[in-house]
Structures are given as structure tokens and as C-alpha cells.
Amino acid sequence: MTVLGVGHGTAAAVESGPTVCAYYADQAGFEGEDLVEAIAIGMAESDCRPDATHRDASGQLDQGIFQLGALDGEINPCYMNPACNAQRALERFQAQGDSWLPAWKASYGHDRYVAAMDEARAAAAPYLEPSIGRIGVLQGSALSVKEGTLWAGWTTQYGGGVAKFEIEGDRIGILTTAGELLVKDGTLYEGWVPQIGGVADFHLAGDRIGVLRRDRTLAVKDGDLYAHWTEQIGDVTDFAMTPTRIGVVTTAGLATVKEGDLYAGWVNQLPGVMGIGLAGDRLAVLRTDRSLAVKQGTLYAGWTEQANDVRDFDLTQTRIGVVTTGGLATVKEGALDAPWINQFSGAADLELSGNRIAVVGTDSGAWVKEGTLYADWTPQTSGVSFMDVTHRR
């Protein structure tokens, strides 16, 4: 296992506007009112455009969403890379005593900054909602979960007989080695609620619980833990869910997806598929030849090829991560054609959630980083076969 010290990549341009600054400022670690101010600064400086440039009166070239000055008067390492740009802005903000002055004296408190505050507060709102953030690990067949920071203590959830688990918001689900699905909702100390038996796989997404039975039929419920099941489709080998989409791979290798309620119709996507992933309006398929393709938008959008020799993958609305057949974990952020930033060698599994990346190494060690793609790794524990994470705010 080797933790890679990643260098600065050059990210593809993304859309401009306050939501761009909100996402990357939150990823970097701005919180509370500082996050609102960071968005307003970005709007005043660049309209939150990753490709923005401006040469000031002294001849210094300022670049990116926070208009960082290039030390050598040329392109700086964070130009066109909003994640890096936001991280450096946070470092400068903190170095100034959690102040925007003097580095951003041309914008802080001025008319454009003041005019952007309402938009900035609206863009920051989703990131100001509390989220505890959890990390779960399967050691042998026992499940332990921590919540809060990366250094929090572990709480045993199930002492043995766990084949798989998943964390989603305040819910934790486990599949026992006997094929029974149990779910808890709330604190780590809530009791388990039995759901259904004869299960081969399951997923949680918002208020949805989906189960792939051992007979390859798929059923989903939407609501509380006592909601009724709705049958979906048979001959399923893999599936994924969001609160609004369900995607499956059939035994014939066909990827098909529905959008809307549990009774919506299926829209065929691609043949020759072995794995499927969903996140927001993104849809990913892992083909039988180990190539990964992703589309974003409607179910009828075009595909963008991503990587070959893929063993495992995960995605969020803003990140895509893969583990290659050679054990390299690499992640891209932003547009679908953004470059890959290598993260970790000797990886067996990778999970993404918000600004967290989790990796289980081939040595069964568990590692998590929080923040940008350039953040440091924090070791978690050893003897791990699987890990899942949710991010915190």
C-alpha cells in the first residue's frame, strides 16, 4: 500500500455562478458565515468563473474563482482548478487570522460583494444544514461505525454475522450472512428493524430501500422502515438507486433505468454491462470489458468514456472515482472530461461521499481523506474488508 502525494491537476472548466463557489468553498473547509462570505468574495472577484483572469495595476496576474495571484506572473498551479483555488484561498484566509483582508481588499465589503450576499446565502444554504458524517467498517463479520471527525471513536453496531452494510443519512442497513436485511434509523444506539429475508444485495437512498433477492427479483420501498414493498423487475444481477432513479443490470447484461416514482417505466441504456451506478443526474456503467462510461443529464443524454481496466468505481454529483485492475485509486472532480488525479496505490475498494474519499487497501487498512483531492489521508483502522462513508458538515 502506498499513499500518493498528489500533484496539482488542471481541471476542466465548470459552470460559473454562486453554486460553483459554494461547492468548492465547502469542499475546501469554509463553514458557516465564512462560507457565505467566501461565495460573495468569489462572485465579486470572478463571478465564480474558474477560467477568470485579471492583471492588476502592479502587473500581477490574478486567476481562478478567488483570483489568486501567480507568483511568477504566469499561470499558477491552481488556475482552472477550482478545488485547488478554493483550498489555497482558505489557507490564505486562515493565515490572515480568518480575515479576507488584506488579500481581498479590492472586493471585501465593496459594492459587488454586498450585492452578491443574497445569492451567496442562498447558494450556501444546502451546505449549512447539519450532517454528522459517519464512517463504517466491516472487520471479519462485525460492523463498527464512528460519527463526526475522522478521529472519533468507534461504536460497535453488530457483533458478527454481517455480510454487507451501507450507510445513508441517519440510516444504517446490514445484510446478515443468513440473508436477512436489518435497518436502523436515527442515532447509533437505535434498535434494528427487520425488513425482509432471502436477500442477496441491498441499497439505501434517501427514504428508499431496495433489495435484490436471491431469486434475482428486485423490490423497493419508499418511506419509513415499515413501508410496503413494490416489485420492480426480475433477472437482475446488479442495481443502484437515488431518491428519484433506479437502475439495474439484467442477467443479459442490459442496463436499464427508471426515473420518478416506483411505477415509472424503464428506459434501456446500454448492453454489455456488468455494473451500474447513480448519483444525482449522473449514470455510470461498467462494461464487461472493464471500461467505464458516464452520462449526465436526462436518461437520453450521450455517454462520455471515462477509464479502462476498472475493477471498482463510485461517483457523486461532482466526483468520479475508480480502482483499476492494478489497484490504483484515482479520482476526477468537476466535468465528465476532467483529468484524473491519482490518490492511492494498492487499493482494493473506494467510496465517495461529498468531500470524503475512503479507501480500503489490499493490506486491509482503512484510510479516509476529507476536503479537496489534495488533502492528506488519515488512517482509520486495520483488518477491514469493506468500508462506507457519509460526509459531515
Q: Which of 319, 364, 363 is nearest to 343 (CA)?
A: 319
Q: How far is CA 45 from the centre of its chain?
A: 28
For residue 340 the three cell numbers come to 484524473
Residue 269: C-alpha distances to residues 299, 301, 304 (Å): 8, 10, 13
What pLDDT score does 250 carry? Answer: 98
Residue 364 has pLDDT above 50, yes or no: yes
What is the mean predicted confidence (pLDDT) over 278-295?
A: 95
Cell 450532517: give the residue: 131
What is the mean predicted confidence (pLDDT) over 143-160?
A: 96
What is the mean predicted confidence (pLDDT) over 272-283?
A: 93
> In the chain, what are the domains?
8-128 (1.10.530.10)
What pLDDT score does 75 carry? Answer: 61
Phi-psi region of 238 (alpha: psi -120 to 50; beta: other; left: phi over 0): beta
The pLDDT tens digits for 177-218 are 999 999 999 999 999 999 999 999 999 998 999 999 999 999
pTM of the model: 0.73
CB-count exposure of residue 112 (10 Å: 0-12, 13-18, 19+): middle
What pLDDT score does 130 carry? Answer: 65
What pLDDT score does 127 carry? Answer: 77
Residue 10 has pLDDT above 50, yes or no: no
The pLDDT tens digits for 245-264 are 999 999 999 999 999 899 99
What pLDDT score does 76 carry? Answer: 66
What pLDDT score does 72 carry? Answer: 53
Computed over every residue of the chain, the mean pLDDT equals: 90
- Distance, CA of 120 to CA of 40 (rounded, Å): 5
What pLDDT score does 69 carry? Answer: 79
What is the mean predicted confidence (pLDDT) over 160-164?
A: 98
What pLDDT score does 71 carry? Answer: 53
Report residue 44's pLDDT band, with 50, 70 and 90 as the boundaries: very high
Cell 492588476: give the residue: 56
Mean pLDDT is highest, among 44-58, 87-101, 172-186, for 172-186
